[in-house]
């Protein structure tokens, strides 16, 4: 059975981590498979958005696979962290929106994977956490960086230093997730969100993602310059002409992604 399942329908690629018997823990095979899937999704024009989830009813992803940890050398562990970071960076910087459909435990690398998505929707039974300190470790897939950027330094440090998991409603309260829905509504909600974005101008969506993701790492005035350059680039697109003329003509826009 493949460790990552994919399904492409109506421009939305659903990516499912498929090791339910191990709560979808990320081993080397899953990480490599996710790298391959994200790499292909980036260049596949049929893919407009991604929804990420975990197989089974219990977990999104319960973390990196702990069973491989006892044999790691420091050099292996550094490589393990760098590879996971690169795969999550590939997802975040793909230029296409991604939505984590968090259907249960999102712990350690699972929380980090969800945070690399553009947005997170949680089922009401989801739990989030960075429990690495209980194992004598720290987050290694950029959790120490993305978590404080999403929820603020104090809340991120509480999660990272105590290792305590939090329920979906608390994740919503601190801004770690965008919405909480009943489990049965999780995938339909994520697909509806993705479909709404797919109805907008694809290049504008790509540049908006880039302006936020890249701009947040720049000094403010340089991020403004970067934003203005992308704004200028939008004006050169057919989609901008179509969007404006559709608005003025009081008709729905039809975007070509050009």
Active site residues: 112, 132
Q: Measure CA 106 to chain center.
A: 12
Of the residues 132, 159, 168, 177, which one makes contact with ligand COA according to CB under 6 A: 132
Cβ proximity to ligand COA, 48 vs 140, nearer residue:
140
Spatial strand order in the sheet of 59-61: 59-61, 105-107, 127-129, 166-167
Nearer residue to ligand COA within complex by CB, 66 or 246 = 66
CA angle at 170 for the pair 82 and 127, rounded to the nearest 5° = 55
190-219: which residues touch ligand COA (CB under 6 A)? none
Torsion on CA atoms 62, 65, 66, 69, rounded to nearest 10: -150
143 binds ligand COA (CB under 6 A): no
Q: Which is nearer to ligand COA, 107 or 180 (CB)?
A: 107
Q: Is 147 exposed, middle or buried (0-12, 13-18, 19+ CB in 10 A)?
A: buried
CA distance 216 to 257: 25
Q: Does 67 bind ligand COA (CB under 6 A)?
A: yes
If binding is defined by CB under 6 A, does position 72 make contact with ligand COA? no
CA distance 104 to 109: 14
Q: How many residues bind ligand COA (CB under 6 A)?
A: 16
Write each residue from 102 to 131 as x if it is in contact with ligand COA (CB under 6 A), else as -, in one continuous string: ---x-xx----------------------x
Which residues would be at the binding site for ligand COA (CB under 6 A)? 22-23, 25, 62-67, 105, 107-108, 131-132, 135, 137
């Amino acid at each position: 059975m493949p460790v990552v399942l994919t399904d492409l329908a109506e421009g939305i690629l659903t990516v499912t981590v498929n090791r339910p018997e191990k709560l979808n823990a990320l081993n080397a095979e899953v990480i490599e498979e996710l790298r391959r899937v994200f790499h292909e999704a980036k260049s596949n024009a049929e893919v407009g958005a991604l929804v990420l989830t975990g197989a089974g009813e219990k977990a999104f992803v319960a973390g990196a696979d702990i069973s491989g940890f006892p044999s790691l050398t420091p050099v292996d562990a550094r490589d393990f962290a760098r590879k996971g970071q690169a795969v999550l960076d590939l997802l975040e910087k793909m230029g296409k929106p991604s939505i984590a459909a968090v259907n249960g435990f999102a712990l350690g690398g699972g929380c980090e994977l969800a945070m690399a998505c553009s947005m997170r929707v949680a089922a009401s039974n989801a739990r989030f956490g960075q429990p690495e300190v209980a194992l004598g470790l720290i987050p290694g897939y950029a959790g120490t960086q993305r978590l404080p950027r999403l929820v603020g330094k104090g809340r991120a440090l509480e999660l990272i230093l105590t290792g305590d998991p939090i329920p979906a409603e608390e994740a919503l309260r601190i801004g770690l997730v965008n919405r909480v829905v009943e489990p049965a509504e999780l995938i339909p909600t994520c697909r509806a969100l993705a479909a709404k974005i797919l109805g907008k101008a694809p290049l504008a969506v790509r540049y908006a993602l880039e302006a936020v993701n890249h701009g947040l790492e720049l000094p403010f005035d340089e991020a403004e310059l970067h934003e203005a350059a992308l704004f200028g680039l939008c004006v050169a697109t057919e989609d901008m002409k179509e969007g404006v003329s559709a608005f003025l003509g009081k008709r729905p826009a039809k975007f070509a992604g050009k």
